[in-house]
């Protein structure tokens, strides 16, 4: 492998960097690795990743903390043969818990428990694992984190490095110099932030050079991306188009058969069918972020392949999506 990232240039604008990193024909869905391991074995997790790759997905999003620090290593099993087909994105700023024997035993026991309680599994996917260290943005720790990511992912460079849950008060000139240095020497091709939406907006205003790539949650219930002005120099990556609210929606409709029937008629789908409803929510996320990447996670190979196929289709029924956006306002705690 080359020690220099392809097209790595000091002083690239965000638009130039994005143009060299993402192929023009890239599928606009990316596979999120937050749910790897835990309730899944390494072999099962690797099979999901391979399914994503074989389905045409190129964008893989991971982080040092995912899988209690072991998700990058599972993803790294694919890179030796398939690195040229992959856009590798990882994050620094949250360190995983120790890999000591007691911690590994406790995590394995927790994973076994989560297999028995899938609803609990879904609720805790976004919570940092026990013992994780948040807000670790000092330069020695960032250097160590990046080097560990490269080693675990079995690559000489990341396509994108994101600062994980960084707050506006944690940005500084030294951090920007370090990121540009990592680009110059070829360890990363570009960088950005993966943070809370309100923090993202603040950083975009105060330190725009740090935010040529931004990643945040956005979905039909919390349409953060609708508050975004389109900027060709910025790649927007959204996530959580399903998540906990989707499962709440399923339960809400199941308890209200008349409402479910009305929704079905208005949406022209069976609103009680979780697959049909999930597909519509993913289409809505893609339509809302027409020039960016939409991340999803799944523990089922057939769903991964189906989502990749869905991303290839043109979005024609905008009226159906408008109806969906109106209907979700009926749910309790809607932010519309």
Q: Percent of the chain having pLDDT more than 90? A: 74
Look at residue 66 and tell me whether its pLDDT is greater than 90: yes
Contacts of 100 (CB under 8 A, 6+ apart): none
Would you say 168 and 202 are in contact if contact means Cβ atoms under 8 Å apart?
yes
pLDDT band at 280 (very low <50, low <70, confident <90, very high): very high
Q: Which of 172, 213, 215 is nearest to 195 (CA)?
A: 215
Average pLDDT estimate for 171-184: 97
Look at residue 289 and tell me whether its pLDDT is greater than 80: yes
Q: Which of 159, 161, 150 is nearest to 210 (CA)?
A: 161
pTM score > 0.85 for this model? yes
pLDDT band at 35 (very low <50, low <70, confident <90, very high): confident
Tell me the domains of the chain and their CATH numbers. Answer: 14-240 (3.20.20.100)
Say what the pLDDT of residue 335 is.
54
Look at residue 3 and tell me whether its pLDDT is greater than 90: no
Which of 59-63, 104-108, 154-158, 211-215 has the weakest average pLDDT? 104-108
**DSSP state, residue 114:** H
pLDDT tens figures, 229-255:
888 889 999 999 987 889 999 999 999
Average pLDDT estimate for 88-114: 67
pLDDT band at 169 (very low <50, low <70, confident <90, very high): very high
Say what the pLDDT of residue 243 is.
78
Angular region, 267: left φ>0, alpha ψ -120 to 50, beta rest: alpha
């Amino acid at each position: 492998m080359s020690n220099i990232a392809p097209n790595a240039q000091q002083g690239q604008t965000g638009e130039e960097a994005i143009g060299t990193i993402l192929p023009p024909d890239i599928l606009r869905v990316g596979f999120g690795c937050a749910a790897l391991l835990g309730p899944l074995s390494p072999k099962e997790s690797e099979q999901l990743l391979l399914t994503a790759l074989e389905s045409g997905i190129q964008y893989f999003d991971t982080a040092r903390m995912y899988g209690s620090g072991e998700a990058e290593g599972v993803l790294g099993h694919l890179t030796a043969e398939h690195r040229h087909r992959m856009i590798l994105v990882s994050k620094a700023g949250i360190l995983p818990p120790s890999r000591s024997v007691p911690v590994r035993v406790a995590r394995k026991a927790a994973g076994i428990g989560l297999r028995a309680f899938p609803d609990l599994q879904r609720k805790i996917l976004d919570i940092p694992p026990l013992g994780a260290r948040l807000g670790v943005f000092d330069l020695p720790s960032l250097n160590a984190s990046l080097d560990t990511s490269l080693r675990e992912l079995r690559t000489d460079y990341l396509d994108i490095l994101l600062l994980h849950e960084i707050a506006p008060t944690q940005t500084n000139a030294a951090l920007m110099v370090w990121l540009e240095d990592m680009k110059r020497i070829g360890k990363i091709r570009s960088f950005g932030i993966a943070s809370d939406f309100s923090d993202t907006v603040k950083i975009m205003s105060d330190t725009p050079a740090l935010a040529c790539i931004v990643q945040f949650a956005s979905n039909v219930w919390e349409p953060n991306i609708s508050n975004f002005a389109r900027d060709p120099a910025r790649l927007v990556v959204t996530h959580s188009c399903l998540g906990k609210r989707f499962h709440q929606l399923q339960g809400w409709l199941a308890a209200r058969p008349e409402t479910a029937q009305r929704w079905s008629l208005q949406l022209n789908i069976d609103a009680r069918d979780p697959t049909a409803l999930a597909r519509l929510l993913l289409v809505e996320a893609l339509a809302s972020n027409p020039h960016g990447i939409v991340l999803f996670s799944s523990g089922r190979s057939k769903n991964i392949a189906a989502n990749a196929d869905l991303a290839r289709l043109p979005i024609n029924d905008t009226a159906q999506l408008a109806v969906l956006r109106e209907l979700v306002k009926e749910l309790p705690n809607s932010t519309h």
